[in-house]
Amino acid sequence: MTTKTEINDATKALYLEDSYLKDCKATVLNVSGRRVELTHTVLNPHGDAIAHPQPHDKGTLVLGRKLLSVSKTILEGDRILHYVKEKPPPVGSEVGCYLDWARRYRIMRNHTAMHIMAQLALDICGGRINGNLECRDHITHIDLRDCKTEDSLAKRIEREANKIIQEDRKIKIFYIPLKEVQEFIDPRKAESCVIPSNVEKVRMVSIEGLCSDICYGTVLRSTREIGHIRMLPKHNKFFEEKAGGNKRLAFVVS
């Protein structure tokens, strides 16, 4: 059974403006089974080719004294859906939306590191990103095509990345008009760039002195917050052979 209010406004994605926002107040717009739509949310969803590769957020909805666990957050079309384990709150009720911050911050560190590693991989190994970037809770990987694959280059990427981290470079979010987006896209990353079809401005993430990428995920404010990057070999090689001639680099953040 699906219950809807007469309010048809899309959920305001507060995490797009402030990745460090941990909670907010919201009104329940729609309920369908265990899926809850809110007027506002701090939880980043999965299922969006634009916002991802990035795992979904988890958290808690608070209704009075009741705590409702949000096991996953999914984007369906332009709807952000919060899956709750308990009986969902009624439409029109006021709830608190609270983020599982420890999980989010770990993801933010991995996601931000992925931007650095992708750019350095292209600059050092050549080739292009084939569209397959995946940031998980722990291991993150980047798939390259038509690139050099010497292990010494992988170690150089690791060294350069950790140098950038220690330099504490600033990371900024900004928006550009859709008509100007081609001026900012590195053609070597074109396969991994997905632009929303219903926007006039595109969200960009810039790492000082390194890169500017289309990004609808959550990122850190500075590179030093990442910590340390370590490349992961597979079968004693850093470049893992994948289907279609792709080469995969995997790394962890600690």
Q: What is the pLDDT of residues 168-207, one digit of tens each?
A: 999 999 999 988 988 888 889 877 777 766 778 999 999 9
pLDDT greater at residue 185 or residue 218? 218
For residue 221, the model assigns a pLDDT of: 98
Query: How open is the CA angle 38-137-77, to the nearest 5 degrees?
Result: 35
Inform me whether the pLDDT recorded for 224 exceeds 50: yes
Quote the DSSP letter at residue 137.
S
Mean pLDDT, all residues of the chain? 89
Are 122 and 61 members of one domain?
Answer: no
Rg, C-alpha atoms of the chain: 19
Section 143-149 average pLDDT: 94
pLDDT over 90 percentage in the chain:
72
Give the model confidence (pLDDT) of 22-69 as tens digits: 999 999 999 999 999 999 999 999 755 554 468 899 999 999 999 999
Residue 88 sits in a domain whose CATH number is 2.40.30.130
Q: Which residue has the higher pLDDT, 3 or 112?
A: 112
pLDDT at 7 over 50: no
Q: What is the DSSP letter of 216?
A: -
Q: Are residues 91 and 127 in the same domain?
A: no
Please identify, among 99, 134, 158, the residue that sits at the C-terminal boundary of a domain.
Answer: 99
Q: What does the angle CA 203 – CA 208 – CA 214 come to, to the nearest 5 degrees?
A: 20
Tell me the C-alpha to C-alpha distance, in Å, between residue 161 and each of 115, 168, 172: 10, 11, 18
Whether residues 210 and 127 share a domain: the answer is: yes
b/e string for 213-230 if b means 16 or more Cβ within 10 A?
bbbbbbbbeebeebeebe
Looking at the fold, whether 110 and 84 belong to one and the same domain comes out as no
CATH number at residue 135: 3.30.980.10
Q: What is the model's pTM?
A: 0.91
229 and 132 share one domain = yes
Alpha carbons 73 and 234: distance in angstroms, whole number:
32
120 and 202 belong to one structural domain: yes
The amino acid present at 137, given as its one-letter code, is: D
pLDDT of res. 136: 67
Mean pLDDT of the region 230-254: 93
Residue among 99, 11, 115, 10 nearest 58 (CA): 99
Shared domain check, 114 and 72: no
Pair 28, 153 in one domain:
no
Residue 2 has pLDDT above 70, yes or no: no
> So what's the pLDDT on residue 145?
93
**Distance between CA atoms of residues 7 and 224, nearest Å:** 42
On the question of pLDDT at 226 being above 50, the answer is yes
CA distance 171 to 217: 13
What is the spatial distance between Cα 100 and Cα 137, in angstroms, rounded to a whole number?
A: 13
Neighbours of 64 (CB within 10 A): 10
In this structure, the answer to whether residues 193 and 242 fall within a common structural domain is yes
pLDDT, residue 104, reads: 95
- Examine the domain organization and report whether 94 and 152 are in the same domain: no
**Domain final residue pick, 99, 116, 141:** 99
Q: Is 185 exposed, middle or buried, given 0-12, 13-18 or 19+ CB atoms closer than 10 A? A: middle
Structurally, the chain folds into a number of domains equal to 2
pLDDT value for 5? 31
* DSSP per-residue string spanning 140-200: EEEEEES----HHHHHHHHHHHHHHHHTT-BEEEEEEEGGGGGGT--GGGGGG----SS-S
Q: Do 184 and 65 belong together in one domain?
A: no
> Which of 3-12, 56-65, 225-234 has the weakest average pLDDT?
3-12
Choosing from 44, 71, 99, the residue where a domain stops is: 99
User: What was the pLDDT predicted at 6?
Assistant: 32
Concatenated DSSP letters of 77-92: TTEEEEEESSPPPPTT
Query: Is the domain of 170 the same as that of 48?
Result: no
Helix runs in 42-134, H state only: 101-125
Run of H or E residues at 73 = strand 66-76
Q: Which domain holds residue 192?
A: 104-253
